[in-house]
Structure 1
Amino acid sequence: MGKIASQSIQTAIFSYLGVVLGYINVLWLYPYSLDATQLGTFRTIQDLGLLFVPFAQLGVGHGITRFFPQLEKNQSAFLSYSLLFSLLGFALVSLLFFGFKEPIISLFATNSPEVVDFLGIVLLITLFSLLSSVLDAFARSYLKVAIPTFFREVFLRLLTSILVGIYLLKWISFEQVMQGLVLVYGIALVGVLIYLIWLGVLKLDFTWTNFPKGFRSSFLRFSLITFLATAASTLIMKIDSIMVSSMVSLEANAIYSIAFYMALVIELPRRAISQVSMPVIADHFAKNQIPEINRLYRQISNRQLYICLFLFALIWNSIDQIYHFVPNREIYQAGKWVVFYIGIGKIFDVAFSVNSEILVFSKYYRFNLILTIAMSALIILVNYWLIPIYGIEGAAMGSALVMLLFNLVKYAYLKAKLNLEPFSWDTAKILFIGFICLAIGILPELQLIPFLIILIKSTLVLGVYILLSKVLNVGNEEWKFIKKRLKKSEP
């Protein structure tokens, strides 16, 4: 866990820098510079482009992580092979996109016709994001996670800020903003390329005959089997936003997107830990170290749940004051309960730890495929049921419900097949602490300026969290780590 912790902290720093930029963008710059319909269009086009990435990738990302440890040489040939395979996937997605263009247009024509004008941008965003994701997976196999995270989480958002800022100054039109998204994703891709070249690991080699016997067929079979699971997982994350645009309106999607982003902060520690843990899990499976996987499974569950519940309590207790700083808050504050339901869904996900990652790198990876496809179909059905009744809150409730069911099934399967258990008495203690801190929100509202209310509530949540952690003897590893980092920063 120490190895993962040291790697994760660098990734987490860049992830949270990205959060700061994201908060500035999503909670102030975007709603200040763009009207609700423009913001809905801006987010929908990006979501569509990113939704197609796992379909084009054909599972190459997980394939690289799983099979990279089997290579003592020929890594450059493996990269070129993977890139070519993913480009083939992109060509297939492009053909399907143009083949089904009319149904796609009809999906948005009634409630969100503005999206139709920018559908051509979608595939270019897909292409650049696809290549970036393959290079990310390659860098991750060397445990070089931080810099690719910087380009994905920080640099990309910074460029987007500049793009929208130029529009705010009236130097370009909204149409040019949408076209500029292509340039933004392209520049971020170039940044990752330059980094890998600087590391000396990006060397294209098309000598594919020197792989170990059966390597290519095993890699292709694994990638093709797991790609549907990856694609379905992305569909679970993105489909609610797209369905809100098509079934309600672009303005509703703008409200939903801002609320969703607030809740997304809760799971950032999970993302940082997951990226570094994947190659470690793959290595443990390669050595058949099941007890080590179980230990990692439980440690990650407790660490993620402890940190993420604290973040959830901070956000939810100050949710009204956070919305106070959003331009046109009378429009966007309608997403308040979306934050709550999505937050609950994220807590479900982090509590069940790295179950998806374990399944993907185990011999039971086919089950993950079946389950993820079933869950993606279920969330579409649930959204069709709940969105007409509850609007954007229905989409959030559907996501939380499916996330719970998704994780319960994975938990039961891993328990039955590998006897893995992520939960302990510490889990119950952490949940109790989180519930108490969330309940702070029922206290009478203070009649002060919003910034002071946020400061007071956050201090109260932090104090209660630390006090109960000491009393119940949980979170010791996390606080020792924080103290260690603070001591290192002292002059």
Structure 2
Amino acid sequence: MGIIFKQSFKNTLFIYLGFAFGGINTLFLYTRFLEDEYYGLVTFLLSTSNLLMPLIALGIHHTIVKFFSSYLTKIEKDRFLSSVLFLPLIIAVPVAYFGNLFYEQIGDYLSIENPIIKDYTFVIYLIAVACSYFEIFYAWAKVQFQTVVGNILKELWNRVVVMILLFAVYFELITKPEFIYYLTGAYFLRMFVMMFYAFKLYLPKFTFSKPDNFKEVLRFSGYIILAGSAGAIILDIDKFMIPGKESLVKAAYYSVAVFIGSFIEAPSRAMLNILQPLTSKTLNEENHKEVASLYKKSSINLLLISGLFFVLINANVTQLFNLLPKEYADGALVVLMISLLKLYNGFLGNNGAIINNSKFYRITLPLSASMAVSVYLLNKLFYYELDMGTDGLALATLIVIFSANTFKLFFIKSKFSITPFTDKTVKMIFIIAVLYLAFNFWDFPIDNIYLWKFPIHPIINIILKSSVITAVYLFLIFKLNISNEFDNLLKKFYK
């Protein structure tokens, strides 16, 4: 667990640094420097490109992680990488051709309720291509067990660029439309930086020869591309559907609430960056004892870290929304549902990596497809028919992903005879529940304080309350010896 914990710790720091920039952008700059309509437009374009990205990537980023460690010689590895690197062009080129051919029809369809979308439809494709190849080269680095640089580029790069561009808009150095074009260029620049770093770590001798198991590679990619496309629908269909009923402004409001609720998933993303290739390697080596060990350790450590941020976010959610314009204030329930979902994901550890990199990966296709259909139908029911607003969209996501993750839990138990549970799991859940209930319904009685008409009393309240929660939380997990890795980290810090 040493290499996992070291790189996960570094990745977590950079992810939360990225969240800090993202939080400033989302909570303050976007809402004040960019009109709500343009903020909603950016949200829509990025979410729609995320829907297209798995199709263009052809699942190659997952394929690299699964198969690279199974090749024993450099010749085999070079054949594998050479054969998969250009496969996404099989999809990207025809999509570009037909997208250009039917651009007017596509633009008209996407902009029925919001005409502003039509002029930027092509941006969806460009960002999808840039993100696809970024993920491929990021996977290239992951299988060399080097995740930190890619993590910085993924989590920090775009948020810093967005901050710079938002200030450029504020100071009238660029226009709002130019903001979108410069942001698109930043995605391509990030892709090239990742490519050069990946080639620096491992530069193959490119060849036209295919690996002996090329058919199996294609079969896996086919399953993963469909499963990945369905997975993208689950994550971004809600933001895509909002402009079909309401204005882009609503997408902006919902995006802020989802961002706040997603804050707790940073540890999971950080740890899984290194867990994915390690899980694949142990499965390829048929080291089931190590697979079980990774499963349990990742679960308790992610539950521990995610639990702290779950309590911090939800105990301070009222004060967080007090920092925003009043139009954003109805998102507290969305934050709770999304954060509950992210907490459960953390508890499951490397659950998904075990399935995706094992011989049972085929189950991901019907599972993801059923999830995509379910979330679409529930969104239609809650959002359109029952008119539950964005709370309905969050509820649909919570129900579908919670059900699917529970299925994965039992599936791994039946196929591998392992679970993420340890004797510390119940203690950890109890600590999270008690602290949430204890701190959620009160705040420090601080008078209203304004600095240049900006309210700073919520910030003071958040700092005081978070300090108390963190101190109590760390004391309990240290005294109860929840995690050996975390105990060792605390001891080093204390010394």
Which category describes the TM-score, using the shorter chain as reference length?
over 0.9
Which consecutive unaligned segments of at least 5 residues does structure 1 have?
Answer: none
> Where does residue 433 of structure 2 map in the other structure?
435
- Partner Cα distance (1:486, 1:73) in 2: 45
User: What are the within-5 Å matches in structure 2 for residues 353-392 of structure 1?
Assistant: 353-388=349-384, 389-392=387-390
> Where does residue 285 of structure 2 map in the other structure?
287
User: Of residues 103, 119, 122 in structure 1, which corresponds to 2:121?
Assistant: 119
Which amino acid letter does the alignment assign opposite residue 373 of structure 1? A
Which stretch has the larger CA shift, 67-76 or 350-359?
A: 67-76
> Where does residue 416 of structure 1 map in the other structure?
414
Q: Tell me if the contact between 2:161 and 2:183 (Cα under 8 Å) persists in the aligned partners.
A: no
> Where does residue 483 of structure 1 map in the other structure?
491
> Where does residue 58 of structure 1 map in the other structure?
58
SS at structure 1 position matched to 2:331? helix
Which consecutive unaligned segments of at least 5 residues does structure 2 have?
Answer: 447-456
> Where does residue 46 of structure 1 map in the other structure?
46
After TM superposition, give the deviation of residue 101 of structure 1 in Å.
Answer: 5.5
Which amino acid letter does the alignment assign opposite residue 201 of structure 1? Y
- Partner Cα distance (2:490, 2:242) in 1: 40
User: Of residues 222, 230, 233 in structure 1, which corresponds to 2:231?
Assistant: 233
Which amino acid letter does the alignment assign opposite residue 2 of structure 1? G
User: Of residues 233, 240, 243 in structure 1, which corresponds to 2:241?
Assistant: 243
> Where does residue 89 of structure 1 map in the other structure?
91
After TM superposition, give the deviation of residue 195 of structure 1 in Å.
Answer: 2.2
Q: Tell me if the contact between 2:169 and 2:175 (Cα under 8 Å) persists in the aligned partners.
A: yes
User: What are the within-5 Å matches in structure 2 for residues 443-458 of structure 1?
Assistant: 443-448=441-446, 449-458=457-466
SS at structure 2 position matched to 1:148? helix
Q: Tell me if the contact between 1:82 and 1:134 (Cα under 8 Å) persists in the aligned partners.
A: no
Q: Tell me if the contact between 1:266 and 1:312 (Cα under 8 Å) persists in the aligned partners.
A: yes
> Where does residue 469 of structure 1 map in the other structure?
477
**Residue 264 of structure 1 pairs with residue 262 of structure 2:** yes
Assess, with a 3 A threshold, how the Cα gap between structure 1 residues 76 and 11 changes in structure 2: closer, same or farther: farther
Assess, with a 3 A threshold, how the Cα gap between structure 1 residues 69 and 455 changes in structure 2: closer, same or farther: same
User: What are the within-5 Å matches in structure 2 for residues 50-449 of structure 1?
Assistant: 50-71=50-71, 72-74=73-75, 75-94=77-96, 97=99, 104-105=106-107, 108-197=110-199, 199-203=200-204, 205-209=205-209, 211-212=210-211, 214-326=212-324, 329-388=325-384, 389-448=387-446, 449=457
- Partner Cα distance (1:12, 1:61) in 2: 21
After superposition, give the CA deviation of every residue in 1:364-413 in whole Å (9 maximum; x if it has no partner). Answer: 10011110111111111111111132111111111111111011111111
Assess, with a 3 A threshold, how the Cα gap between structure 1 residues 480 and 15 changes in structure 2: closer, same or farther: same
Q: Tell me if the contact between 1:25 and 1:161 (Cα under 8 Å) persists in the aligned partners.
A: yes
- Partner Cα distance (1:240, 1:234) in 2: 11
- Partner Cα distance (1:95, 1:225) in 2: 25
Assess, with a 3 A threshold, how the Cα gap between structure 1 residues 200 and 96 changes in structure 2: closer, same or farther: same
After superposition, give the CA deviation of every residue in 1:231-264 in whole Å (9 maximum; x if it has no partner). Answer: 2222211111111232332111101111111111
Which stretch has the larger CA shift, 18-27 or 465-474?
A: 465-474
Which amino acid letter does the alignment assign opposite residue 458 of structure 1? S
- Partner Cα distance (1:216, 1:242) in 2: 36
SS at structure 1 position matched to 2:321? helix
After TM superposition, give the deviation of residue 445 of structure 1 in Å.
Answer: 3.2
Q: Tell me if the contact between 1:125 and 1:185 (Cα under 8 Å) persists in the aligned partners.
A: yes
Q: Tell me if the contact between 1:248 and 1:391 (Cα under 8 Å) persists in the aligned partners.
A: no
Assess, with a 3 A threshold, how the Cα gap between structure 1 residues 483 and 23 changes in structure 2: closer, same or farther: farther
Assess, with a 3 A threshold, how the Cα gap between structure 1 residues 367 and 306 changes in structure 2: closer, same or farther: same
Assess, with a 3 A threshold, how the Cα gap between structure 1 residues 337 and 156 changes in structure 2: closer, same or farther: same
After TM superposition, give the deviation of residue 191 of structure 1 in Å.
Answer: 1.7
- Partner Cα distance (2:327, 2:66) in 1: 46
After TM superposition, give the deviation of residue 21 of structure 1 in Å.
Answer: 1.1
SS at structure 1 position matched to 2:173? coil
Q: Tell me if the contact between 2:144 and 2:201 (Cα under 8 Å) persists in the aligned partners.
A: no
After TM superposition, give the deviation of residue 486 of structure 1 in Å.
Answer: 6.1
Assess, with a 3 A threshold, how the Cα gap between structure 1 residues 81 and 282 changes in structure 2: closer, same or farther: same
After TM superposition, give the deviation of residue 289 of structure 1 in Å.
Answer: 1.3
Q: Tell me if the contact between 1:76 and 1:201 (Cα under 8 Å) persists in the aligned partners.
A: no
Assess, with a 3 A threshold, how the Cα gap between structure 1 residues 104 and 480 changes in structure 2: closer, same or farther: farther
Which stretch has the larger CA shift, 95-104 or 331-340?
A: 95-104
Return the TM-score normalized by structure 1.
0.93
Q: Tell me if the contact between 1:414 and 1:420 (Cα under 8 Å) persists in the aligned partners.
A: yes
After TM superposition, give the deviation of residue 103 of structure 1 in Å.
Answer: 6.9
Q: Tell me if the contact between 2:375 and 2:397 (Cα under 8 Å) persists in the aligned partners.
A: yes
Return the TM-score normalized by structure 2.
0.92
- Partner Cα distance (2:188, 2:490) in 1: 37
After TM superposition, give the deviation of residue 77 of structure 1 in Å.
Answer: 4.5
Q: Tell me if the contact between 2:315 and 2:441 (Cα under 8 Å) persists in the aligned partners.
A: no
SS at structure 1 position matched to 2:37? helix
Q: Tell me if the contact between 1:11 and 1:146 (Cα under 8 Å) persists in the aligned partners.
A: yes
Which is richer in helix? 1
After TM superposition, give the deviation of residue 435 of structure 1 in Å.
Answer: 0.8
- Partner Cα distance (2:272, 2:255) in 1: 24
Assess, with a 3 A threshold, how the Cα gap between structure 1 residues 93 and 357 changes in structure 2: closer, same or farther: farther
SS at structure 2 position matched to 1:172? coil
After superposition, give the CA deviation of every residue in 1:166-197 in whole Å (9 maximum; x if it has no partner). Answer: 11111222111112122111111122123234
Assess, with a 3 A threshold, how the Cα gap between structure 1 residues 100 and 399 changes in structure 2: closer, same or farther: farther
Q: Tell me if the contact between 1:125 and 1:181 (Cα under 8 Å) persists in the aligned partners.
A: no
- Partner Cα distance (1:444, 1:131) in 2: 47
Which stretch has the larger CA shift, 137-146 or 233-242?
A: 233-242
After superposition, give the CA deviation of every residue in 1:294-345 in whole Å (9 maximum; x if it has no partner). Answer: 121111111111110110111111112222333xx21112222211111111
- Partner Cα distance (2:403, 2:100) in 1: 35
After superposition, give the CA deviation of every residue in 1:56-108 in whole Å (9 maximum; x if it has no partner). Answer: 11111111111111332134443332221012222244456557767754554
After TM superposition, give the deviation of residue 441 of structure 1 in Å.
Answer: 3.6
After TM superposition, give the deviation of residue 282 of structure 1 in Å.
Answer: 0.9
Q: Tell me if the contact between 2:314 and 2:440 (Cα under 8 Å) persists in the aligned partners.
A: no
Which amino acid letter does the alignment assign opposite residue 466 of structure 1? L
Q: Tell me if the contact between 1:77 and 1:207 (Cα under 8 Å) persists in the aligned partners.
A: yes
Q: Tell me if the contact between 1:55 and 1:93 (Cα under 8 Å) persists in the aligned partners.
A: no
